[in-house]
Amino acid sequence: MSFLLVHGAGMGATSWDRLIPHLSGPAVAVDLPGRGARAHVDLRSVTLDDCAAAIVADAVDSGLSDIVLVAHSFAGVSVPRVLAELSERVAHVVFLSAVVPPDGSRVLDEIDPGVREAVEASLDGGVYRQDHAAVPAMLCNDMTPEQTQWTIGQVVEDAAALLSEPVDLSGLAVDVPRTYIRLTRDTCYTPELQARSADLVGGDTVFLDSGHMAMVSIPEQLAEVLNGIAARQVCCPGSSSGLRRGCTSPA
């Protein structure tokens, strides 16, 4: 089994650096257009289809197969667009506190009102620029000081248009096993909003006691869940269930 990791808004492939050493198979972390390996792309031109094309390209170019595809946060609106094209390669898709609003809606319409105000204030000239001073409260509420500083250092600019582009969830009709991981201490994408997204995704739900950036705050525990899902796909191909060792139930 292998892992294809897709980051959320205002992040890049390096946001997975602390998780990857704990995974049980080869892993590729995608840089969506406008950052990292794709920094040459003008953020003001980026669409959700461009993000989907980058995911597909990295899966194909790396030669990955039997993929556990992990969508964190905002990747919940781009990963459904690749499921049809990658259906022969993807064994399981995992939505990690992923933003999955109703089909045809906008992400801006579906996020928590308090978070939405901060996001809208960060939009400027077609670019989404997160205020570094706001990052600890939104992303790091469960982190050590060292983890918080590391996470702040990962924040990059993103494409503002992605937040207002209508979502296409038709790819969720593809018969690929799936799991939604709900993070019970998440202040960025609240547990209530995660519940709505999990209902749209279907499949299994797993709970982890973590804030929004579980790959930073609890990488070993998150890896245990992902490795368990990968192991179960090897034992029982096509199963929709992931292993639940190391997970906690919500209060």
User: Is 116 domain-assigned?
Assistant: yes
Asked if 37 and 61 count as a contact pair (C-beta separation under 8 A), the reply is: no
Residue 247 lies in a domain: no
pLDDT of residue 217: 98
Which tens digit of pLDDT belongs to each residue from 83-141? 999 999 999 999 999 999 999 998 877 777 777 777 777 777 788 888 888 899 999 99
List pLDDT tens digits, range 143-199: 999 999 999 999 999 998 888 899 999 999 999 999 999 999 999 999 999 999 999
Residue 242 covered by a domain: no
Is residue 244, in this structure, part of any structural domain at all? no
Q: How far is C-alpha 10 from the geometric centre of its chain's CA atoms? A: 12
Instruction: pLDDT band for 244, please (50, 70, 90 cuts).
Output: very low
pLDDT at 247: 41
Does the residue 251 lie in any domain? Answer: no
CATH number (domain holding residue 77)? 3.40.50.1820
Domain assignment present for 240: no
Angle at 57 between CA 52 and CA 62, to 5 degrees: 135
Residue 245 in any domain: the answer is no
Q: How many domains does the chain have?
A: 1
Note the pLDDT of residue 235: 59
Residue range 7-53, pLDDT digits in tens: 999 999 999 999 999 999 999 999 999 999 999 999 999 999 999 99
By residue range, what is the domain housing residue 50?
A: 2-235
Range in 26-40, 123-137, 201-215, 229-243 with the lowest mean pLDDT: 229-243
Sheet holding 158-159, edge to edge: 123-124, 127-128, 158-159
Q: What is the pLDDT of residue 239?
A: 52
Structural domain contains residue 250: no
Read off the pLDDT of residues 129-146 as tens digits, 9 standing for 90 and up.
888 888 999 999 999 999
